[in-house]
């Protein structure tokens, strides 16, 4: 029984009810036809016969009264009027007889009517004799006929008519009693059939409840367990071969989806933790880089200041050397040119240092921006996870409603199509289906909203990742700018060293030509030495800056 399709179960139940109801209906229609036959007999035979015989009896009485009136007067005008009335009554009697004769339905009734006809014919013979005497005002003779043989014949005819009235009235009563008997019998049969149908419907309802409703309640309870997050219990009723088994199979697929979703959620949590740890490493490397760059910038700025002071001292010494001696003008001129070259190189070095400072500041700002974009990406991912959880909840509701809707829709459709007027009892089921359909539509709207939110959050996360990539590219460009600035500083330092050497050679020549410039030359050599030391220090700091920046980039790439 449990492997039989629900539709077959319901069809079997409906077939039994329809068969029983059809048999009962045929029986009732047959009984109604019999009752109708009796009613037709009463309406078309017995009652018209009663009416016709009663009218005949009344007409004969009227005819007798008119005869009495005729014999009681001698006025020709009155007698003429009475004769006209007699003719009219005779015509009426003949019409009534023509109406009644086709309705005679039994030998007994036919015999009584023939007796009436014989009595009435005899009466009319006496009437003709009477009317002739009465017209001649032979009232005494006419009265003898009227109250003699004519009266006896009239009484016989009237008595026969009364028997006909009674016979037809009895026939109507018998037909009515037969109809009542048929109605009572069929009423009892109908009540018995209805009771049998009610008992059959109750039994089938009980069986359907055990075969359909109980498993559905079990599946509904299991769906509640699933919605609570319990995935270890097995899906019930999977061994059935009917729609309940199909529902259980669908529920198993849904459960497998929940298990897979749980595994994906755990994997996503692990990935999120790994990203958080990577971000922490990036933040640590960024902080270290910022600290190193800050210290390097300070050292480079200090070396640049010292380099500028040395350049000024060297210029002053060169000027003093030019004043002291005209003999060394050529050497002095060369020294001045070299000193100017040193000054220009110093300015270029200062400009490079400023560029380094700006690039370092920009790198720090970009790093901060990258941290902020990373936070935005993390927030978007968290929103995405929340939206996914909401989708899980809404999906559980839709699944529950879908199962119930399918069942109720099936019941309502079958009942409405098969039961006819009896299907009005399933209006409640139809209303329930409408309610569940509305809930399904609302849940579908919620799913659409949540999916839209997930898509929006995903786009935000993707944009944040793109921004982070762009920032890293900007940091790379900044490092290239810093490397270029460092190369310019190295070139400037080499130029300064070369020019200082040339200035030193020129100073030796000047020393050979004039002793007065020895002190200035010494001052120039000391300044050149100090400038060379500052340049060396600046070069070392540039190397350190490059090393720290490379370390930072590697830390980010390996994070």
Q: How confident is the model at residue 386 (pLDDT cuts 50, 70, 90)?
A: confident
Task: Give the range of the structural domain holding residue 354, as residue numbers without chain letter.
Answer: 277-558
Predicted confidence at residue 412, as pLDDT, reads: 66
- Closest Cα partner for 109 from 52, 157, 160, 42? 160
d(CA 512, CA 505) in angstroms, rounded, equals: 11
Please identify, among 169, 199, 215, the residue that sits at the C-terminal boundary of a domain.
Answer: 215
Q: Assess whether pLDDT exceeds 50 at residue 318.
A: no
Q: Which residues of 231-259 are buried (b: 16+ CB within 10 A; e: fewer)?
A: eeeebebeebebbbbbbbebbeebbeebe
295 and 161 both lie in a single domain = no
pLDDT digits (tens, 9 = 90+) for 107-163: 999 999 999 999 999 999 999 999 999 999 998 899 999 898 889 999 999 999 999
27 and 153 both lie in a single domain = yes
- 488 belongs to a structural domain: yes
- 223 belongs to a structural domain: no
Predicted confidence at residue 328, as pLDDT, reads: 45
Predicted confidence at residue 544, as pLDDT, reads: 77
Mean pLDDT of 43-66: 90
Stretch among 181-185, 437-441, 550-554 having the lowest mean pLDDT = 437-441
Let me know: does 27 contact 265? Beta carbons within 8 Å. no
Let me know: does 322 contact 332? Beta carbons within 8 Å. yes
Degrees, nearest 5: CA angle 171-174-175: 85
**Which of the two residues, 407 and 185, has the higher pLDDT score?**
185
- 266 belongs to a structural domain: no
Predicted confidence at residue 439, as pLDDT, reads: 74
pLDDT digits (tens, 9 = 90+) for 85-94: 999 999 999 9
d(CA 6, CA 11) in angstroms, rounded, equals: 8
Q: Tell me, what CATH number does 18's domain have?
A: 1.20.120.30
- 233 belongs to a structural domain: no
Question: Based on the structure, what is the number of domains in the chain?
Answer: 2
Let me know: does 57 contact 158? Beta carbons within 8 Å. yes
Please identify, among 199, 215, 231, the residue that sits at the C-terminal boundary of a domain.
Answer: 215
d(CA 331, CA 223) in angstroms, rounded, equals: 103
Contacts of 61 (CB under 8 A, 6+ apart): 158
Q: Tell me, what CATH number does 397's domain have?
A: 1.10.287
Backbone conformation region of residue 92, classed left if phi is above 0, alpha if psi is from -120 to 50, else beta: alpha
Six-digit token pair at 334?
A: 């060369």
Q: Assess whether pLDDT exceeds 50 at residue 339.
A: no
Residues in the chain: 559
Contacts of 384 (CB under 8 A, 6+ apart): 454, 457, 458, 461
188 and 289 both lie in a single domain = no
d(CA 417, CA 423) in angstroms, rounded, equals: 8
Count of CA atoms in the C-beta half-sphere (13 A) of 374: 19
**pTM (two decimals):** 0.36
Let me know: does 271 contact 324? Beta carbons within 8 Å. no
Six-digit token pair at 331?
A: 């050497």
Q: Assess whether pLDDT exceeds 60 at residue 537.
A: yes
pLDDT digits (tens, 9 = 90+) for 252-285: 887 788 778 878 888 888 888 888 887 777 777 6
d(CA 10, CA 7) in angstroms, rounded, equals: 5
- 210 belongs to a structural domain: yes
Q: How confident is the model at residue 479 (pLDDT cuts 50, 70, 90)?
A: low
In angstroms, the Cα distances linking 368 to 156, 198, 289, 474 are 138, 82, 12, 13
292 and 417 both lie in a single domain = yes
Percent of the chain with pLDDT over 70: 63
In angstroms, the Cα distances linking 57 to 1, 99, 280, 491, 534 are 76, 14, 127, 157, 161
301 and 200 both lie in a single domain = no
């Amino acid at each position: 029984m449990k492997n039989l399709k629900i539709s077959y179960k319901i069809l079997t139940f409906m077939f039994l009810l329809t068969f029983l109801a059809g048999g009962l209906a045929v029986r009732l229609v047959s009984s109604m036809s019999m009752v109708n036959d009796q009613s037709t007999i009463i309406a078309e035979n017995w009652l018209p016969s009663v009416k016709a015989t009663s009218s005949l009896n009344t007409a004969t009485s009227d005819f007798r009264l008119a005869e009495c009136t005729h014999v009681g007067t001698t006025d020709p005008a009155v007698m003429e009027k009475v004769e006209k009335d007699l003719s009219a009554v005779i015509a009426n009697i003949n019409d009534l007889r023509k109406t009644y004769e086709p309705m005679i339905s039994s030998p007994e009734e036919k015999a009584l009517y023939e007796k009436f006809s014989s009595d009435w014919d005899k009466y009319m013979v006496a009437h003709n004799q009477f009317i002739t005497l009465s017209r001649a005002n032979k009232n005494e003779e006419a009265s003898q006929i009227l109250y003699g043989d004519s009266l006896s014949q009239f009484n016989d005819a009237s008595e026969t008519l009364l028997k006909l009235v009674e016979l037809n009235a009895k026939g109507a009563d018998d037909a009515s009693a037969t109809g009542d008997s048929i109605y009572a019998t069929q009423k009892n049969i109908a009540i018995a059939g209805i009771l049998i149908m009610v008992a059959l419907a109750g039994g089938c309802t009980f069986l359907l409840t055990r075969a359909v409703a109980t498993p559905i309640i079990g599946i509904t309870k299991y769906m509640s367990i699933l919605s609570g997050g319990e995935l270890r219990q097995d899906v019930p009723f999977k061994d059935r071969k009917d729609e309940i088994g199909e529902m259980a199979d669908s529920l198993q697929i849904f459960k497998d989806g929940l298990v897979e979703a749980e595994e994906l959620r755990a994997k996503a949590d692990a990935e999120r933790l790994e990203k958080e740890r990577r971000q922490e490493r990036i933040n640590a490397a960024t902080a270290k880089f910022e600290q190193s760059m800050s210290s390097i910038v300070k050292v480079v700025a200090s070396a640049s200041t010292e380099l500028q002071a040395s350049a000024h001292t060297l210029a002053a010494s060169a000027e003093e050397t030019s004043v002291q001696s005209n003999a060394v003008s050529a050497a002095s001129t060369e020294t001045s040119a070299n000193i100017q070259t040193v000054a220009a190189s110093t300015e270029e070095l200062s400009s490079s240092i400023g560029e380094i400072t700006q690039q370092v500041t920009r790198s720090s700002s970009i790093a901060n921006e990258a941290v902020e974009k990373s936070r935005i990406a993390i927030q978007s991912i968290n929103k995405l996870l929340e939206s996914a959880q909401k989708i899980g909840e809404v999906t559980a509701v839709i699944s529950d409603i879908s199962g119930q809707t399918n069942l109720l829709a099936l019941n309502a459709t079958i009942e409405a199509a098969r039961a006819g007027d009896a299907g009005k009892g399933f209006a409640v089921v139809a209303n329930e289906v409408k309610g569940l359909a509305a809930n399904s539509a609302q849940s579908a709207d919620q799913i659409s909203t949540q999916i839209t939110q997930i898509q929006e959050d995903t786009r935000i996360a993707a944009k944040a990742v793109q921004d982070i990539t762009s920032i890293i590219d900007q940091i790379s460009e900044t490092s290239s700018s810093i490397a270029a600035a460092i190369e310019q500083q190295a070139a400037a330092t080499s130029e300064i060293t070369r020019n200082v050497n040339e200035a030193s050679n020129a100073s030796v020549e000047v020393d050979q030509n004039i002793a007065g410039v020895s002190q200035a030359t010494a001052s120039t050599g000391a300044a050149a030495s100090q400038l060379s030391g500052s340049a060396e220090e600046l070069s070392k700091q540039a190397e350190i800056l490059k090393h720290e920046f490379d370390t930072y980039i590697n830390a980010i790439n390996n994070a």
